[in-house]
Amino acid sequence: MNTEVKAKYLKDYKKPAYAIESVDLLFELFEEETFVTNTMQIKKTDASVNDLTLDAVNLELLELSLNDLKLQESRYIIEEEKLTVLNVPDAFEIKIKNKIYPQDNTELEGLYKSGDIFCTQNEPEGFRSITPFLDRPDIMSLFTTTILADKKKYPVLLSNGNKIKCHEDFKERHGVTWHDPHPKPSYLFALVAGNLGSISDEFTTIQGNKVALNIYCDLGNEQKCHHAMHSLKASMKWDEEKYGRAYDLDIYNIVAVDSFNMGAMENKGLNIFNSAYVLADTDTATDANFMGIESVIAHEYFHNWTGNRITCRDWFQLTLKEGLTVFRDQCFSADMNSAQVQRIEDVKALRERQFVEDASPTRHPIQPESYISMNNFYTATVYEKGAEVIRMVYTLLGEKNYRQAMDLYFETFDGQAVTTDDFLWAMHECGDFDLELFKRWYKQSGTPRLHVKESFENGTYSILLTQKIPDDVDGKKQKPCYYPLKMGLLDRDGSEILAKTLIISKESETFVFENLKEKPVLSINRDFSVPIIVEYGEAQFAFLMKYDTNSFTQYEATQNFALRTISEIIESSAINDDFVDAYGHLLDLDVDLSYKALLLELPSVSAVMQLQKEIDFDAIYDAQDKLLLHIAQKYKEKLLDIYKQNHLPASASLEAKYIAKRAIKNRALKILSILKNDEVAELAQKQYEESLTMTDRIVALDVLENLHVSYAEVALQDFYNRYKDETLVMNKYFAILASSSRYDVLERVEKLQRDKVYDEKVPNLVRSLVGSFARNHKHFHAKDGSGYKFLADKIIEIDKINPQIASGLCGAFKVCDKMNKHNQDLIKKELSRVISTQGLSKNSFEIIDKILK
Ligand code: ARG
Ligand code: ZN
């Protein structure tokens, strides 16, 4: 057992005793080693302290001097994660030279190599493995950075801010100096060196400043950067229009790298991206990929104000910047595309990932109280639930007051490292809501439920709303929540009687609506105004599917009715005809086709699983298949019609209209594929062969893989040959195979690990092969334990390479306590084996420990 691990607590926060006013960095990059020389101007802010303790991981110190005098060894102490300089004066310069090995850094934190490119990832605590520093976000300094490297291998040398000097005076080497005029925390520091291609553009801010925009990538990929550039310019414009925020440097650089632990990073003036969120063309990227790029580019750009100009005081405040920035990127995407589709997609993602997390032993409030590894808290809860909390603030304040409150927030805290309380203070100044009650959203975990009980008597309709608040993870009672609940009432012909936002503040409350001719139909939690689970008494799902005037609750009614129908099939194997009829009605709806494609999607395994006390995956798959088969048989002609109407004429256009046609057509094809007949197999095969877009190709491939072995083999081989050199496309290939329903999946996954395209050091590949398998419930939860054993072995192996990726994989086991006894025992056996592995990272330890407790 790992006994070294120690948790950090929010309540232990202390102000720093020093300020680092400026830092001058020199990087001398070589193939075998890198020398870092770090010169800092430091001042005491607390006169009572004597020693300066810097964060420093595995420090290989070469030189240390204070005010130009070399320090004797008796003047400092080096520990595993610290460098302490004893008895320092009130103000001084300290110079540290040390050596690091980026080429051997497989954790991809700090300075590392992605292929031949030097790059960095410092959030949250990577900087301390580059050079000693007060590596905490409330230390904000001015950075000047000089990079020296081989001229041929690394012609492009980048860091934050503006380029102030080129050094061309040596033969094979060259250098560049960058200066960032904005003080920033070390987690926003970035460096890139490589032989890169690029595209450039320009943006003129609302204040008339010209900003040079550059996107860098591997040579040869330049043509795939245009969508990202377009998205960047749209984001810059949107933030000016919607928030009055303009960009504040003369240059904005984005670099795409293949090896990256997360999506992207908002380093000041130099964003570094997982190439999956930059590179796209219609031959290699799906419509969903294009949307993903638009939203991540926007997300990182929006951080410039919500994250960089105003940053977090400490990492417990992470949702201050992440929740807010996700909310901003969601609104941006809603404005760029279909708002109703965007909202549904966001809620779907929230429920698939965050609700599951919030019901598991790893659940935590959006503002956690403690952590062992901060890297484990870049979660769906901090990000997506955090965004829902900001959305509630927005709903409570209304658009105008929200904008005023945001202006106040920027005015008051610009240039500072602040807390979620500071943010809420600004919101509360401009709005009328119960601040203390609302703060519970930051402190409590678990998904709240709301029970609805309706009654109608003498023209008076009332709803009794009762909150059910889950206990926290340690079994402590939590309190009722405060939120805006959007609702509407419809009359019997489906027209709207009223639309309203109720303020929910008590554990239980009755709301009364008078002077009604007949009992109305309730449409509740419109737009998903609060992230809760609604428990209906007698709900009118079929009616709402037909008549609801709110597109979100219309979708919701469909999902809820389908979930109820699937649950009934699991219990009694009978199919509710009312649902099947209502579904048939949806097929004829004349609405936006992207929205319709979502309406027609039946609930995922994860959605059904969340209803079960003890999860039974086999039963879920059987019931789903049974319902889908019934629908496909009954509506075969209509579905074929929808397919044909939208399939031709073929187009690779990215206009909304064509994206929608692809979405609805592919939805129809997927539903029809349950028929497992030659007709559908041939449609899929033809679609594969004639496809003009990756969207069509990948859906056809996936359908074939699960439908027709021999057609699939041909298509898979073709796909592999065509794309084996495109690593982003190979991710899709691995994901399809690892998610397959075929019986020999595990065997094939094991074999694919030896494919020459696969590389266990590249996070995207691990996520698409091993990660997809871990989400393939049918095979991962196999009764013989083979899926668990495979994943446990992988976690042990990958933990040695990259602890962040390993601990991400551990998450697949978090459903443990909801499984049957047999599977629980198997999981526990494997996890006990993993947690007792010598040298296991604190990242994996923290997650497994919570699951095993
Ligand atoms: N701040 C980045 C973003 O959300 C994510 C950085 C995550 N880093 C990590 N090591 N977990 O845009
Ligand atoms: Zn972010």
Averaged pLDDT, 581-592: 97
The pLDDT tens digits of the residues spanning 666-688 come to: 999 999 999 999 999 999 999 99
Q: Is pTM beyond 0.90 here?
A: yes
φ, ψ for residue 193, nearest 5 deg: -140, 130
Protein residue with its CA nearest to atom 8 in ligand 1:
123
Residue 3 has pLDDT above 50, yes or no: no
Q: Are strands 311-312 and 417-418 parallel, antiparallel or unpaired?
A: parallel
* Helices and strands per DSSP (H, E), number in the chain: 30, 31
Compute the half-sphere exposure of residue 358: CA atoms within 13 Å on the CB side of its CA: 29
Cα angle 561, 601, 809; round to 5: 105
Domains, the chain, ordered by start = 8-302 (2.60.40.1730), 319-443 (1.10.390.10), 449-528 (2.60.40.1840), 724-853 (1.25.50.10)
Mean pLDDT of 47-74: 98
Under the banding of pLDDT at 50, 70 and 90, the label for residue 1 is very low
DSSP assignment of 604-661 equals PHHHHHTT-SS--HHHHHHHHHHHHHHHHHHTHHHHHHHHHHHH-S-----SHHHHHH
Q: Please spell the DSSP secondary structure of 560-608, one letter per residue.
A: HHHHHHHHHHHHH----HHHHHHHHHHHH--S-HHHHHHHTPPPPHHHH
- pLDDT digit string (tens) for 263-312? 999 999 999 999 999 999 999 999 999 999 999 999 999 999 999 999 99
Cα(346) to centroid of ligand 2, in Å?
Answer: 16
Question: Alpha-carbon distance 30 to 35, whole Å?
Answer: 8
Question: Which residue's CA is minimally distant from atom 1 of ligand 1?
Answer: 265
Residue 44 to residue 99: CA distance in whole angstroms: 27
DSSP state of 71: P
The residue to mutate among 112, 119, 123, having the most atoms of ligand 1 within 8 angstroms of its beta carbon, is: 123
Q: Is 571 a catalytic residue?
A: no
Mean pLDDT, residues 12-17 taken together: 98
CA 125–ligand 2 middle distance (angstroms): 15
Select which of 107, 109, 300, 388 is catalytic: 300
> Within a 13 Å sphere around the CA of 27, how many CA atoms are in the beta-carbon half?
31
pLDDT digit string (tens) for 309-331? 999 999 999 999 999 999 999 99
In tens, the pLDDT along 334-350 reads 999 999 999 999 999 99
Q: Which atom of ligand 1 is nearest to the CA of 109?
A: 10
Q: Dig out the tokens for 198 from the structure.
A: 């690029």
The mean pLDDT value for 103-110 works out to 98
Q: Which residue has its alpha carbon closest to ligand 1 atom 3?
A: 265
The pLDDT tens digits of the residues spanning 187-213 come to 999 999 999 999 999 999 999 999 999
User: ipTM, 2 decimals?
Assistant: 0.98
Q: Which ligand gives the minimal distance to the CA of 127? A: 1
CA distances from 825 to 512, 818, 822, 853 (A): 50, 12, 5, 13
State the chain's mean pLDDT as an integer: 97
Atom of ligand 1 nearest to the CA of 378: 11
CA of 612 to the centre of ligand 1 (A): 33
What phi and psi, each to the nearest 5 degrees, are found at residue 525?
A: 60, 50
Q: Residue range 365-390: average pLDDT?
A: 98
What pLDDT was estimated at residue 134?
A: 99
Distance 784 CA to ligand 2 centre (A): 40
Sign (positive or negative) of CA dihedral 338, 343, 344, 348 = positive
Cα–Cα distance measured from residue 695 to residue 667, given in angstroms and rounded to the nearest whole number: 12
Tokens matching residue 511: 């709301």
Which residue has a Cα nearest atom 2 of ligand 1? 265
Q: How many CA atoms lie within 13 A of 322 on its CB side?
A: 22
For residue 305, the CA-to-ligand 2 centroid distance in Å is: 12
Above pLDDT 90, what percent of the chain? Answer: 98
Ligand closest to CA 808: 1
Instruction: Please give the backbone phi and psi of residue 732, each rounded to the nearest 5 degrees, phi first.
Output: -70, -40
Q: Which of 262, 311, 320, 327 to mutate to test the pocket of ligand 1 (most atoms within 8 A of CB)?
A: 262
Dump pLDDT digits (tens) for 117-154: 999 999 999 999 999 999 999 999 999 999 999 999 99
**Residue 808 predicted with pLDDT over 60:** yes
Instruction: Bin 613: left if φ > 0, else alpha if -120 < ψ < 50, else beta.
Output: alpha
In this predicted structure, the answer to whether residue 708 has a pLDDT above a threshold of 90 is: no
3-state secondary structure of 742: coil
Measured from the Cα of 383, ligand 1's closest atom is 4
Please tell me the predicted confidence (pLDDT) of residue 4: 60
Residue 2 has pLDDT above 60, yes or no: no
What is the mean predicted confidence (pLDDT) over 96-105?
98
* Beta strand extents in 290-360 (DSSP E only): 311-312
Ligand 1 centroid to 378 CA: how many Å? 7
Considering only CA atoms, which of 556, 554, 574 is closest in space to residue 565? Answer: 574
Which numbered atom of ligand 1 lies nearest the CA of 375? 11
CA of 589 to the centre of ligand 2 (A): 38
**In this predicted model, what pLDDT tens digit does every residue of 159-198 receive, in sequence order?**
999 999 999 978 999 999 999 999 999 999 999 999 999 9
How many degrees, rounded to 5, is the angle at CA 125 between CA 121 and CA 126?
Answer: 40
Alpha carbon distance 142, 814 (integer Å): 42
Label residue 571 by pLDDT band (50, 70, 90): very high
CA distances from 306 to 196, 537, 646 (A): 29, 42, 41
Give the pLDDT band of residue 539 (cuts 50, 70, 90): confident
Atom of ligand 1 nearest to the CA of 299: 12
Distance CA 706, CA 742 (A): 7
Calpha distance 239→325 (Å, rounded): 11
Per-residue H/E/C for 367-395? CCCEECCHHHHCCHHHHHHHHHHHHHHHH
pLDDT at residue 5, as a whole number: 77
Band (538; pLDDT cuts 50, 70, 90): confident
Find out whether 681 and 704 touch, Cβ atoms under 8 Å. Answer: yes
Pocket lining for ligand 1, CB < 6 angstroms:
123, 261-262, 264-266, 299-300, 322, 375, 378
CB 233 within 8 A of CB 201: yes
Locate the ligand 1 atom nearest the alpha carbon of residue 322 and give its number.
4
Q: In whole angstroms, give the CA distance from residue 796 to residue 804.
A: 12
Structure tokens at 122: 């410092």
User: Which residue minimizes the CA distance to atom 12 of ligand 1?
Assistant: 265
Task: From 378, 767, 807, 841, give the residue whose CB has the most ligand 1 atoms within 8 Å, as the site to mutate.
Answer: 378
Asked whether residue 382 carries a pLDDT value surpassing 60, the answer given is: yes
For the CA of 267, the nearest ligand: 1
